[in-house]
Amino acid sequence: MTTHFADRLATAVMRRESQIVVGLDPHPQSVAGGLAGAEDLCRRVIATVAPAAVAVKIQIACFERYGAEGWAAWQRLAAFAADAGLLVIADAKRGDIGLTSQAYAAALLDGPVDALTVNPMMGDDAVAPFIARAAQTGRGVFVLVRTSNPGAALLQDVELADGRLWHQLLADEVSRWGAELVGESGLSSVGAVVGATVPEHLVDLRARMPQQPLLLPGAGAQGGRPEDLAAAFANHPAGGLVTASRSIMFADRPQEAAEDLRSRVQAVL
């Protein structure tokens, strides 16, 4: 998989006419049957929503809890999604330093995975191994910048000595880290995670990260609204990837839920 990730993403968005990412979060509290039940549900969701989506985002923790069998299961799901024509984002939020990040990158930026979420908490030396691996293998990384969870403001909105908020500093760094990985599409393989639940930050963050694809979790059950996300697509139709998990996975008709979300996103382009 040596083709540039952002170019693959841009091509897939245009071909499938979709910016929808379906999150696969089969937590045991919501899915009966243990690992087998989780894998079966995810397969059915993938098969159902594939026509309306451009990618799936697999929450790795939901499978890692089952040990080696769980690891094998999520990789099978990734291959199944890839066979359905979908890009695959591994939502693992890894981030450590030196050899540890190199090991995480080798383990996760391989096989049928197209991109990985990365936690920049420990600084640029924690992120660098993931970016290097992504560059070598034609994959992408999405760095956490301003997340969708209610507690994010505690740290991510802290004002720094230079007047920027912490998440603004992260955005500026992500733009710098991704500058050498911009493809023919004009997008970088180094993207950012920005919650759909905080659209008030989008205009500023898009200006700070003009070449970054933005992974926008929190649409649906968390309250994010596609109608508020237009700024994400200001520079490119593939500049935003609207992610919904529970509102699609557990809908009575997942395909209709995905199609509705796709239509709402297309309306703001």
User: Could you list the active site residues?
Assistant: 93
Q: What is the dihedral of CA 82, 78, 50, 2, to 10 degrees?
A: -30
Cα separation, 25 vs 79, whole angstroms: 17
CB neighbour burial string for 201-237, b if at least 16 within 10 angstroms, e if fewer: bbeebbebbebbbbbbbbbbebebebebbbbbbebbe
Place of tokens 């500093």: 169
Cα separation, 217 vs 22, whole angstroms: 10
